Amino acid sequence: MKIGGFLKNSFVDYPGVIASVVFVPGCNMDCWYCHNRHLWKEVNLIPQEQVFEFLDKRRGFIDGVVISGGEPTLQKDLAEFIDVIKEKGYLIKLDTNGLRPDVIEKLTDKIDYIAMDLKAPPSGINRVVSFDVDEELIWRSTQLIMNSGVDYEFRTTMMPQLSVSDIEKIAQRIEGAERYALQQYRKMEDTHGLDNVPIELEPLSPEEIKKTADAASKFVKSVVVRGV
Protein backbone atom coordinates (compact mmCIF):
# COMPACT_ATOMS: atom_id res chain seq x y z
CA MET A 1 0.00 0.00 0.00
CA LYS A 2 1.17 3.53 -0.73
CA ILE A 3 1.98 5.54 2.40
CA GLY A 4 2.54 9.29 2.25
CA GLY A 5 3.11 9.95 5.94
CA PHE A 6 3.45 8.21 9.29
CA LEU A 7 2.83 9.55 12.80
CA LYS A 8 4.36 7.18 15.32
CA ASN A 9 2.37 8.22 18.38
CA SER A 10 -1.02 9.91 18.74
CA PHE A 11 -3.31 10.32 21.73
CA VAL A 12 -6.10 12.11 19.84
CA ASP A 13 -6.74 10.29 16.55
CA TYR A 14 -8.35 7.15 18.00
CA PRO A 15 -10.70 7.78 20.95
CA GLY A 16 -9.36 6.10 24.07
CA VAL A 17 -6.49 4.41 22.24
CA ILE A 18 -2.79 5.23 21.89
CA ALA A 19 -2.22 4.85 18.17
CA SER A 20 0.08 5.30 15.22
CA VAL A 21 -1.36 7.06 12.19
CA VAL A 22 -0.74 6.02 8.58
CA PHE A 23 -1.52 8.68 5.95
CA VAL A 24 -2.17 7.55 2.39
CA PRO A 25 -1.84 9.77 -0.70
CA GLY A 26 -4.64 10.59 -3.11
CA CYS A 27 -8.19 11.78 -2.56
CA ASN A 28 -11.50 11.90 -4.44
CA MET A 29 -12.49 15.22 -2.86
CA ASP A 30 -10.77 18.62 -2.86
CA CYS A 31 -12.05 20.27 0.33
CA TRP A 32 -10.84 23.87 0.33
CA TYR A 33 -9.89 23.82 4.03
CA CYS A 34 -7.86 20.59 3.85
CA HIS A 35 -4.56 20.78 5.72
CA ASN A 36 -3.34 17.52 4.17
CA ARG A 37 -3.38 18.75 0.59
CA HIS A 38 0.27 17.73 0.19
CA LEU A 39 -1.00 14.14 0.24
CA TRP A 40 -2.72 14.62 -3.11
CA LYS A 41 0.55 13.73 -4.81
CA GLU A 42 2.52 10.53 -4.41
CA VAL A 43 5.82 11.99 -3.25
CA ASN A 44 8.28 10.88 -0.58
CA LEU A 45 6.44 7.61 -0.08
CA ILE A 46 7.27 5.46 2.94
CA PRO A 47 7.77 1.71 2.41
CA GLN A 48 5.05 -0.21 4.24
CA GLU A 49 7.74 -2.55 5.60
CA GLN A 50 9.09 0.41 7.56
CA VAL A 51 5.72 0.79 9.26
CA PHE A 52 5.48 -2.94 9.97
CA GLU A 53 8.95 -2.96 11.53
CA PHE A 54 8.03 -0.07 13.81
CA LEU A 55 4.81 -1.76 14.92
CA ASP A 56 6.70 -4.98 15.68
CA LYS A 57 8.94 -3.04 18.04
CA ARG A 58 6.14 -1.08 19.75
CA ARG A 59 3.85 -3.88 20.88
CA GLY A 60 2.67 -3.09 24.38
CA PHE A 61 3.21 0.65 23.95
CA ILE A 62 0.79 1.28 21.08
CA ASP A 63 -2.66 -0.30 20.92
CA GLY A 64 -4.01 0.75 17.54
CA VAL A 65 -3.34 2.04 14.05
CA VAL A 66 -5.34 4.76 12.31
CA ILE A 67 -5.46 4.70 8.52
CA SER A 68 -6.18 8.20 7.25
CA GLY A 69 -5.39 10.38 4.29
CA GLY A 70 -6.02 11.45 1.71
CA GLU A 71 -8.72 8.85 1.21
CA PRO A 72 -7.77 5.30 2.27
CA THR A 73 -10.54 3.54 0.33
CA LEU A 74 -8.80 4.47 -2.93
CA GLN A 75 -5.88 2.18 -2.04
CA LYS A 76 -6.21 -1.16 -3.83
CA ASP A 77 -4.11 -2.98 -1.20
CA LEU A 78 -5.94 -1.53 1.81
CA ALA A 79 -7.59 -4.79 2.92
CA GLU A 80 -4.31 -6.71 2.76
CA PHE A 81 -2.52 -3.95 4.69
CA ILE A 82 -5.18 -4.10 7.40
CA ASP A 83 -4.88 -7.89 7.60
CA VAL A 84 -1.14 -7.67 8.30
CA ILE A 85 -1.64 -5.09 11.06
CA LYS A 86 -4.47 -7.09 12.64
CA GLU A 87 -2.26 -10.16 12.70
CA LYS A 88 0.21 -8.13 14.75
CA GLY A 89 -2.49 -7.60 17.38
CA TYR A 90 -3.42 -3.97 16.76
CA LEU A 91 -6.83 -2.33 16.68
CA ILE A 92 -7.70 -0.61 13.39
CA LYS A 93 -9.47 2.72 12.90
CA LEU A 94 -10.37 3.87 9.40
CA ASP A 95 -10.97 7.50 8.41
CA THR A 96 -13.05 8.01 5.26
CA ASN A 97 -15.16 10.52 3.36
CA GLY A 98 -17.71 7.83 2.51
CA LEU A 99 -17.57 8.09 -1.27
CA ARG A 100 -16.81 4.39 -1.68
CA PRO A 101 -19.49 2.46 0.25
CA ASP A 102 -18.65 -0.71 -1.67
CA VAL A 103 -15.15 -0.71 -0.19
CA ILE A 104 -16.35 0.22 3.29
CA GLU A 105 -18.79 -2.69 3.26
CA LYS A 106 -15.99 -5.15 2.50
CA LEU A 107 -13.87 -3.79 5.36
CA THR A 108 -16.39 -3.78 8.20
CA ASP A 109 -15.37 -7.24 9.42
CA LYS A 110 -11.70 -6.18 9.54
CA ILE A 111 -11.80 -2.85 11.37
CA ASP A 112 -12.62 -1.86 14.94
CA TYR A 113 -13.60 1.79 14.52
CA ILE A 114 -14.58 3.97 11.60
CA ALA A 115 -14.78 7.76 11.43
CA MET A 116 -16.63 9.25 8.48
CA ASP A 117 -16.59 12.92 7.54
CA LEU A 118 -19.86 14.65 6.70
CA LYS A 119 -18.71 17.82 4.98
CA ALA A 120 -22.02 19.61 4.51
CA PRO A 121 -25.79 19.15 4.74
CA PRO A 122 -27.72 17.27 2.05
CA SER A 123 -27.36 18.96 -1.35
CA GLY A 124 -24.65 21.25 0.02
CA ILE A 125 -21.43 19.41 -0.80
CA ASN A 126 -20.58 22.00 -3.49
CA ARG A 127 -19.72 24.41 -0.68
CA VAL A 128 -16.70 22.24 0.03
CA VAL A 129 -15.87 20.31 -3.14
CA SER A 130 -15.38 22.11 -6.46
CA PHE A 131 -16.37 19.21 -8.75
CA ASP A 132 -19.45 17.02 -9.03
CA VAL A 133 -19.81 14.37 -6.32
CA ASP A 134 -22.49 11.68 -6.17
CA GLU A 135 -23.81 12.65 -2.77
CA GLU A 136 -26.02 9.59 -2.45
CA LEU A 137 -22.86 7.50 -2.06
CA ILE A 138 -22.12 9.44 1.12
CA TRP A 139 -25.53 8.83 2.65
CA ARG A 140 -25.43 5.19 1.59
CA SER A 141 -22.20 4.87 3.56
CA THR A 142 -23.74 6.42 6.67
CA GLN A 143 -26.50 3.81 6.74
CA LEU A 144 -24.07 1.02 6.05
CA ILE A 145 -21.84 2.14 8.93
CA MET A 146 -24.73 2.57 11.37
CA ASN A 147 -25.89 -0.99 10.63
CA SER A 148 -22.43 -2.58 10.54
CA GLY A 149 -21.92 -3.37 14.23
CA VAL A 150 -18.55 -1.57 14.11
CA ASP A 151 -17.89 1.23 16.59
CA TYR A 152 -18.09 4.52 14.70
CA GLU A 153 -18.46 8.26 14.63
CA PHE A 154 -19.55 10.81 12.09
CA ARG A 155 -17.82 14.17 12.16
CA THR A 156 -18.09 17.60 10.61
CA THR A 157 -15.44 20.29 10.41
CA MET A 158 -17.19 23.49 11.44
CA MET A 159 -16.17 25.65 8.51
CA PRO A 160 -17.40 29.23 8.99
CA GLN A 161 -20.11 28.96 6.32
CA LEU A 162 -22.00 26.28 8.27
CA SER A 163 -25.05 27.32 10.27
CA VAL A 164 -27.04 25.77 13.09
CA SER A 165 -29.63 24.78 10.50
CA ASP A 166 -27.00 23.05 8.38
CA ILE A 167 -25.80 20.90 11.27
CA GLU A 168 -29.37 20.13 12.25
CA LYS A 169 -30.04 18.86 8.70
CA ILE A 170 -26.97 16.62 8.83
CA ALA A 171 -28.02 15.24 12.22
CA GLN A 172 -31.51 14.55 10.92
CA ARG A 173 -30.04 12.56 8.04
CA ILE A 174 -28.08 10.36 10.49
CA GLU A 175 -30.84 10.26 13.11
CA GLY A 176 -30.13 7.68 15.80
CA ALA A 177 -26.35 7.69 15.22
CA GLU A 178 -24.23 6.75 18.23
CA ARG A 179 -21.71 9.60 18.00
CA TYR A 180 -21.45 12.85 16.05
CA ALA A 181 -18.32 14.97 16.46
CA LEU A 182 -18.13 18.68 15.62
CA GLN A 183 -14.55 19.75 14.98
CA GLN A 184 -13.36 23.35 15.09
CA TYR A 185 -12.15 24.75 11.78
CA ARG A 186 -8.50 25.77 11.73
CA LYS A 187 -7.93 28.98 9.82
CA MET A 188 -5.91 28.50 6.66
CA GLU A 189 -2.40 29.97 6.70
CA ASP A 190 -2.21 29.77 2.93
CA THR A 191 -4.36 28.53 0.07
CA HIS A 192 -2.06 25.73 -1.08
CA GLY A 193 -2.12 27.36 -4.51
CA LEU A 194 -5.91 27.24 -4.85
CA ASP A 195 -7.98 30.11 -6.17
CA ASN A 196 -11.16 31.46 -4.58
CA VAL A 197 -10.47 29.97 -1.16
CA PRO A 198 -12.14 32.00 1.63
CA ILE A 199 -8.92 32.22 3.62
CA GLU A 200 -10.01 35.35 5.47
CA LEU A 201 -12.87 33.61 7.26
CA GLU A 202 -12.55 33.32 11.04
CA PRO A 203 -13.54 30.17 12.93
CA LEU A 204 -16.96 30.08 14.54
CA SER A 205 -17.05 31.07 18.19
CA PRO A 206 -17.37 28.44 20.94
CA GLU A 207 -20.85 29.80 21.65
CA GLU A 208 -21.93 29.28 18.04
CA ILE A 209 -20.58 25.74 17.99
CA LYS A 210 -22.35 24.96 21.26
CA LYS A 211 -25.62 26.04 19.61
CA THR A 212 -24.98 23.64 16.72
CA ALA A 213 -24.17 20.84 19.18
CA ASP A 214 -27.44 21.45 21.02
CA ALA A 215 -29.34 21.34 17.71
CA ALA A 216 -27.67 18.09 16.64
CA SER A 217 -28.27 16.44 20.01
CA LYS A 218 -32.01 16.30 19.26
CA PHE A 219 -31.34 13.64 16.63
CA VAL A 220 -28.17 11.72 17.60
CA LYS A 221 -27.28 9.93 20.81
CA SER A 222 -24.03 11.73 21.58
CA VAL A 223 -22.49 14.97 20.30
CA VAL A 224 -18.79 15.64 20.89
CA VAL A 225 -17.15 19.03 20.34
CA ARG A 226 -13.42 19.09 19.59
CA GLY A 227 -10.84 21.83 19.28
CA VAL A 228 -12.84 24.58 20.99
Q: Please enumerate in sequence order all residues whose Cβ is within 8 A of that of 155, keeping only pairs 6 or more positions apart, or say none.
A: 115, 116, 117, 118, 180, 181, 182, 183
Share of the chain above pLDDT 70, in %: 94
Is residue 11 pLDDT above 80, yes or no? yes
Please, which pLDDT band fits residue 86 given cuts at 50, 70 and 90?
A: very high
Q: What is the count of structural domains for the chain?
A: 1
pLDDT in tens, 142-170: 999 999 999 999 999 999 989 999 999 99
Q: Which of 92, 97, 130 is nearest to 116 (CA)?
A: 97
User: Looking at residue 205, what DSSP letter applies?
Assistant: P
Please, which pLDDT band fits residue 204 given cuts at 50, 70 and 90?
A: very high
CATH number where 135 lies = 3.20.20.70
pTM: 0.93
Please give the residue range of the domain that contains residue 159: 5-226
Please, which pLDDT band fits residue 40 given cuts at 50, 70 and 90?
A: confident
Q: What is the pLDDT of residue 57?
A: 96
What rounded mean pLDDT belongs to the chain? 92
- Give the dihedral sign, CA 76/79/80/84: positive
